[in-house]
Amino acid sequence: MFTDQTFLVTGGTRGIGKATVQALIERGANVAFTYQSNRVLAEQICEELGQGNNILAVEADVQDFTQAQKTIAQVKERFNQLHGVVLNAGIARDKPFYMMSEEDWDVTIQTNLKGTFNYARASVFDFIKQKYGRIVCVSSVSAMKGVLGQVNYSTTKAGQIGFIKSLAKEVSKFGITVNAVAPGFIATDMWNDIPDDRKAKILGEIPLGRAGEASEVADAICFLLQSNYITGSVIAVDGGILI
């Protein structure tokens, strides 16, 4: 599906990011991914998932625009071209709003929303020049459904949806599509951190009765990366919790 194409995934060492890296490689792509600081883990993933010279790990802080520009340059130097970016890197600092510190708010905004800007902005001019590009943002059902303790997180995820809809209108004439996936409760580290009693309540709200798998979100991301006539859309991968 993606033979001779190159994609960049931000935050590719675990969860949805790692699953996306794996799914793209299985579909024949060259893949670069960013990581915050754990070089050992990043190198392990390259050894585990890579086949020859088709994978690249780049240490970069998603909050830093200059680092985003350098990352794009590294990817192009290694693979000559970039066809799409998956804006996945993000954090959650959950707590009741009346207990939320300014730092909890700011770091969530800087990572989830500013990070989205940084990598989309760093890559979009190349996409315009080559008249082709795919941008997929990993948002959340928290953008569309109130979730206790996630005022900061939900704000950033809703912002990402506004971002992809506006950007899609601007760049569609250049052959660029911009979309988002909105995962529900996925069996990642964030899910594992939820207390068992709350997990049970959440599962009772999901029509399919289970948490999703990271690979199921990755499949939706790959679908959007290969689609030519979908833009400005959000695909919920949520087991029906938004119904």
Distances (CA, A) of 20 to 58, 151, 192, 221: 16, 27, 19, 7
Contacting residues for 223 by C-beta, under 8 A, at least 6 apart = 235
Residue given tokens 């390259």 in the structure block: 46
- Tell me whether residue 119 is one of the annotated catalytic residues: no
Q: List the structure tokens of 75.
A: 């990817």
**Catalytic residue, candidates 35, 98, 119, 153:** 153
Dist CA 183 CA 119 (whole Å): 20
Strands 6-9 and 234-237: unpaired
Q: What is the 3-state secondary structure (H, E, C) of 53-71?
A: CCEEEEECCCCCHHHHHHH
Which residues are the active-site residues? 153
